[in-house]
Structure 1
């Protein structure tokens, strides 16, 4: 297949693209910085600098849209919120427009979203049917999904990736957490009772390939079947690093440090991959301690 990928140099893209190439697919990555992308990606990957010169996506078989500025890297000022939204909405709108302008459009658009779609629902078990709360993360994800879904037609199916916290070597949440845990300064955040919906990078990639190769559409919670509480996660991470995990970080300190974005770590979703499992997908990584041991070197 000829597959166009956005966000190809990000955490998920860097692991997904080698698997696509292994399977014999031709991969084109849309990037703002081809020089940097060329240093990161396999030489077989074709690079497009943006989409401005494209009129349609005829002869492209699939689009995997993973683009978006990292959501937890900066405080959520109004300007940063706008950047977070536009970095997702704009390219998704462009892709949807190109798909809709195609005579022979891609058979599938797999587009990013996040478990943050649901907002902070505490103890509620969250499946794809759960009504969301009206928080910033929901507004960001709901519009993102709405734009992607506008590409749905008889010729093109749309899958939405409501992704949890991705566990992978050299990046993501672990890149932020591991340094403090290594020196014995890690531990639960706030009450530690909030749920963390996680997924191993292998299952994330395999899940995307599953959606690529099966006739499925709609939203999918890309999370392990076993979400854990924050305190369980901290304990498991400490165990994986052979370090204590007893330095509890007060919620007030997190709110001072992160402002409104503190909801990302003080809140959470007890999300389950109901639709993915119902479709026949089999997870490799169910146990958090095993998953952490695999990705931490």
Structure 2
């Protein structure tokens, strides 16, 4: 078996000890999985220590392909190494090498020895594709590592926080949990069913939450709510969308307000749907609400946090635009039609305010850490796009024509 080698190096904004410690945090592997790969951590044991294992699962339609990796070397803060015991490669040995650099920084080199299945024929057929995928994956990993280390370095004077999150298993909540834990913060999920030690149970329909477990937290992030894209907005679905937000926020905020040791900050999700459909009007946090269903929900949703404000808790209402990630949500739903040549929706003139998933998690992190921030905050990219513009950009990114518009009557 002829082995191929791949290496990629990047400069880090922290010393080797801090860089190695970041990789040891439980959320690091989740942060490093590329969002375009339908891959999740199924099981992990032992951190980075020798003998530790990680099982990754890649979902391809109804199929589940598993990758079992075992850590075989652990030399903090210089190196850790993992090898594939079962998975898609004929051979895979990955060394993560850290070196101290002048000025207090460090460098990270990912060095991989690998072989594709099928020997020389497999290499001839798939070798170039595999190489390009490795380039893409490690470019993403290094960009994420540098960005996260820089972010945590920027707020290091704030110290570590104990944070509870509703909606912790959702698209934004899971990303936020990984971001916070890699910074050393303690994260606890507020959830309907306790699955892990430290989880805090609540039941919105029953009006019940384990208030004692909320005592002494530094912060709460409230993201729970029925997915607005889960189905057509009939009367039943509208009630789910409204009640999950209004009743859940009311229960949480009334409970927080009555605690003996209240959190310093509550970051509560809202949406740019607050403003309704306003065309190309420039909107700021001071703009009045719209007059459609979603605007009414957002206005009432935010109003439920008033009781927390009156109790002395700093409250930030983040009005998110459409949150984009190929992992889930609106973008995932758009990808298949776009790959088949799908074009704009209706006229294509409707404006979309949007934000990437990483920036959405970063906005929450900033709100947690910034004592001067309170009230409504628009969490969106600087420039909104029309649906037509967005569709053209998406087509360019995935190298597909966007020539088949969806008629307005079908939407």
Query: Does 2:301 align with 1:141?
Result: no
**SS state of the match for residue 46, structure 1?**
coil
Residue 26 (structure 2) aligns with: none
Query: Does 2:224 align with 1:67?
Result: yes
- Is the contact between residue 201 and residue 209 of structure 2 (CA under 8 Å) also seen in structure 1? no
- Is the contact between residue 54 and residue 98 of structure 1 (CA under 8 Å) also seen in structure 2? no
Query: Does 2:358 align with 1:205?
Result: no
- Is the contact between residue 59 and residue 104 of structure 1 (CA under 8 Å) also seen in structure 2? yes
Give CA-to-partner distance per residue, 1:150-175, whole Å, 9 cap, x none. Answer: 21046311000111111113101111
Give RMSD over aligned pairs: 1.5
In the alignment, which of 343, 349, 354 is matched to residue 187 of structure 1?
A: 343
Residue 49 (structure 1) aligns with: 201
Aligned pair count reads 245
Unaligned 5+ segments in structure 1 are 39-44, 255-297
Query: Does 2:271 align with 1:99?
Result: no
- Is the contact between residue 106 and residue 155 of structure 1 (CA under 8 Å) also seen in structure 2? no
Residue 37 (structure 2) aligns with: none
Matches within 5 A, 1:1-297: 1-35=161-195, 46-50=198-202, 52-55=208-211, 57-153=214-310, 155-184=312-341, 186-215=342-371, 216-254=373-411
Residue 72 (structure 2) aligns with: none
Give CA-to-partner distance per residue, 1:17-59, whole Å, 9 cap, x none. Answer: 0111111111110112444xx6xxxxxx732232625235320
Higher relative contact order (CA 8 A, sep 6+): 1
Residues in 2 aligned to 1:114 and 1:85: alpha-carbon distance in whole angstroms: 13
Give CA-to-partner distance per residue, 1:239-284, whole Å, 9 cap, x none. Answer: 1110001111111121xxxxxxxxxxxxxxxxxxxxxxxxxxxxxx
Q: Which has the higher helix share?
A: 1
**What TM-score do the two structures reach when normalised by structure 2?**
0.58
Unaligned 5+ segments in structure 2 are 1-160
Report the Cα offset of residue 135 of structure 1: 0.7
Larger radius of gyration: 2
- Is the contact between residue 200 and residue 210 of structure 2 (CA under 8 Å) also seen in structure 1? no
**SS state of the match for residue 64, structure 1?**
strand
Give CA-to-partner distance per residue, 1:127-170, whole Å, 9 cap, x none. Answer: 11111221100111111100022210463110001111111131
- Is the contact between residue 2 and residue 62 of structure 1 (CA under 8 Å) also seen in structure 2? yes
**SS state of the match for residue 178, structure 1?**
helix
- Is the contact between residue 290 and residue 296 of structure 2 (CA under 8 Å) also seen in structure 1? no
